[in-house]
Amino acid sequence: MRQNRSADPWSTFLAPAGRSSGVSPSGAASSQERGHAPGGGDEPGAEDACRRVLERLRAARGPLSLEQIHHATRLGLLEVADAVDVLRERGLVAVEREIDEVVRLTEG
């Protein structure tokens, strides 16, 4: 059986089994990552993501893939997808399938 010989005995006690201290579980956001705003437009983070996606689409003057929006806005892929869903429900963007899925502004 493996023994954890940490200098801090509390880290061994408090860390869940099978995980060393200082390592976050997979899927957990670190304090440096942007928060994912679940549920669409209910939270300020979601509105900021929607605003950034719209700004990027307007600046591009054409359709962009989700990956291109992700890189241009520095939002997470889930944040981009949620923002696009919210904007699509509002009728501001359309998602079309070309080679990849692309997001296009619908407003004039």
pTM, rounded to two decimals: 0.58
pLDDT digits (tens, 9 = 90+) for 56-70: 999 999 999 999 999
Domain boundaries, given as residue ranges, for the chain: 40-108
Q: Is 99 buried (19+), middle (13-18) or exposed (0-12) by CB count in 10 A?
A: exposed
pLDDT-derived band at 99 (thresholds 50, 70, 90) equals confident
Amino acid at 55: E
Residue of 36 and 42 predicted with greater confidence: 42
Q: Which CATH number fits domain 40-108: 3.40.50.1110, 3.40.50.720, 3.30.1490.270, 1.10.10.10?
A: 1.10.10.10
